[in-house]
Structure 1
Amino acid sequence: MIKRLRSLPLRSRLALLVAAAVAFAVAAVSVTCWFIVQGKLYDQLDADLRKATALTDPKQVGQIREALATCTQTPREGGFGTTYSQIVTADGTTCLFTNSYGEVKVTDADEEVMQQSSAGEGILRNGTAEDGKALRVLTVSLPLTDQRTQARADAVLIAAVPLDGTQSTLNDLALLLLLVSGVGVIGAGAAGLAVARAGLRPVDKLTEAVEHVARTEDLSVRIPVDDDSEDEIARLSHSFNSMTSSLANSRELQQQLIADAGHELRTPLTSLRTNIELLTRSEETGRPLPEADRKALLASVKAQMTELAALIGDLQELSRPDTGQHAGRTQIVAWQETVESALRRARLRGPELTITADVEPWYVRAEPAALERAVVNILDNAVKFSPEGGTIDVRLTAGTLTVRDHGPGISASELPHVFDRFWRSESARSLPGSGLGLSIVARTVQQAGGEVTLAPAPEGDGTVATIRLPGAPVPPPESSPDGDGGDGGQG
């Protein structure tokens, strides 16, 4: 049964749940109402019976005395305003009154009332007459108020009224409540189904959108959402729209990366192919190239292989996901040592330049190799764009690294694009490089929790690159004492 319910659509389960809840509530209210009405009707009957048997009329008292003295089963005149009334003595003799239509069956409870020494409230019960009719019966003991008679105290007065009218009313009420409950349950089920359909309509749209994306891989699908709505469905729709938008942007970036990588790889591969074909053709035709040309071709092939390897390395670096997976490789790094190592490499690449450095101790948490590569890329850019005999100023203080060159600088229109992948300024397209260096710098600095900026130099010539990383001028106690970010920096 539970498995069958789980196989139903969600709106059907909601409709059944609403119908079941309403059915339970209606049933509880109906049963309570029926018992309340039954109690009220019985209370009214009981009040009438007690009023009729109050024995406040002297005539009724006289009739009782006479009946106790000479009681037979012959109907007698008088009565107590009830359909059934009789007196039963201890020896089982029953005296019927003229307004009776039959004899009420005597039970053990009636006989217990005979043992009471004084008149009390008596007992109320449901009983039956000899003709089979259902009765509401009141049995009270009769006191002996006149010692001159032969009456005894062990006699009871039994008064009863038929329950036909009361039971008919209760049956009609039960039928009415049953009909109302049935209509209410059916209406509740229909209303629950309508509410479920209305409430799940956004879910249907979301399902259709997901199925459409799965079928067509079209990530441009968006679900219309009311901006003022803050319910769960609206939040789910907003999340879906954000997810598809992010996936679409990611796919676009991947496609752009592939296209740009293909474009960048085509140039060195074409040059390599041309040079290798020249060398091969000279060997096949038996016309060796002059030694100088051969050395130039081999040097070109070597340079192109180096450029190709660097480009592939940059692409591998950028292809790493922007997640916390790099956190396992981070450690406490002495940034000043990383900068000094990068400065040594930069001086080898620009021996004609003057590179000044003012480096203060600063310890950061980062991936050592990636951080050094980022600093090397910044210095390489400064070396590349500096004029011959120029000066590069490097300063590291309080966690801020600034690299200032005296090259042509960057225009204001180009600044927003300097960290884009494969982007190169007009002045840099004739120079070696792939346009990925600053992208790698931005990615590395972001993963280390810092920020990087490029801006024109204050004096108007050259560019200032600034990297800010959080850290401290001294290593934390758990790091290794040599300051190189050893195993202790993993804590």
Structure 2
Amino acid sequence: MTGPVAWFRSRPLRSRLALLTAFAVAVAVAAVSAACWFVTRVQLEAELDSSLRSTRLDTNGVQSLLALCRQGATPPPLAGSYTVQVILAGGSVCTSGEAAIPAGTGELAVARGQLDDVLRTVKDDDGREMRVYTYPQDGPVGIAVSVARPLSEIDNSMSTLRWVLLLVSGIGVVGAGAAGLWVARTGLEPVNRLTDAVEHVAATEDLTVRIPVEGEDEIARLSRSFNAMTAALASSRDRQAQLIADAGHELRTPLTSLRTNVELLARSEETGRAIPPDDRRALMASVKAQMTELAALIGDLQELARPDAVQPDHPLEVVPLHAILRTALDRARLRGPELTFDTDLAPWYVRAETPALERALVNVLDNAVKFSPPRGTVEVTLMRGELTVRDHGPGIAPDELPHVFDRFWRSPSARSLPGSGLGLSIVARTVQQAGGTVSLEPAEGGGTVARLRLPGAPTPPPEL
């Protein structure tokens, strides 16, 4: 890698800290300078506009200018940098100033009594930008007076301010960089004494090695933090290894289904035997659903691989639990076509993340489908925020119930079945994020009951 980023990364840490400090100060100073420059310009323009509005030419002055123009004489310029024009309704213009200012439709409209006044920026005949205020002359309709001043007055002041701001900003940035370098050198000096121990751990890659901790100063705190970090990394590495071993089982079913659908589509293209439009649409919809499921599953696997993945990536929203449950039931029926689903769903709205909630419901239903006997019945009830899913399978041993929501845990009797042991842990995480509870318990007469309780209401809140 080459370029500024590579150069920056190659600098010592203290130099990078100094550069970052200088950069941060430069950004702050630039923002303040830009705001100062902008506010000052707006204020100067407002003062200029106010000055133009307060400048009025009396009737005698207007008549004198008109008289000079009728005689073919050039009216003398007024004191200061003002330019004054008398505009007649017919379009005639009499100018007192260095150069005439083109009279536009706005000025003519004021002269004809169609507008009260006009304030705009134009260029005079010499190419200078002028701020022009036009108002109707007191008396008979048909005369308007334009009072103008050059914007160069503001530009000159702003140019001076610009150089002052640049000078002050430059001094501030250089000073901040020097101060940052001094602070970095002073603050990082004790870290050098810890470097040898850290490099030893890095060279051996043995995360079980711990750095001896002595004292209670900052270096001791850093050593304790490093020891805690290596312990967490060792635990994380073990979980990642387990995740890699188990993720293939969780991904196998949707990948196999996706591969089957794609092969059907490919075989149709190769043999020239067209698939009926309805079947083709169904296949494409199934492929899309399976790809979505795979993406969601991979996201869940990554989230579960992190130590404390308890917060959702997106804000929670109010969603209809009963509608999401129906969608999950449709997917469960595809995986257990020989099963009967006995459902009783009452409306219930909860605050949750829709994709995660649907994934959790699918996991609960898949668990019931997986352990149901052939041609069995799965009973699904949603009533007053309590969802129960009962199967009529072999059930769960009492000593296994405390472990059913542990990550990667699988019952010894179910290890021959597909799955990675992530499904119920995903359910528990999602339900906890929604503020609810989940439990598995033996059902009367055999089987298992999954019970989810989610806070909510039978009707959506008014903001929906």
Judge same fold: TM > 0.5, yes or no: no
Q: TM-score interval w.r.t. the shorter chain?
A: 0.3 to 0.5
Please tell me whether Structure 1 or Structure 2 has the larger radius of gyration of its CA atoms.
1
State the TM-score, normalized to the length of structure 1.
0.41
State the TM-score, normalized to the length of structure 2.
0.43
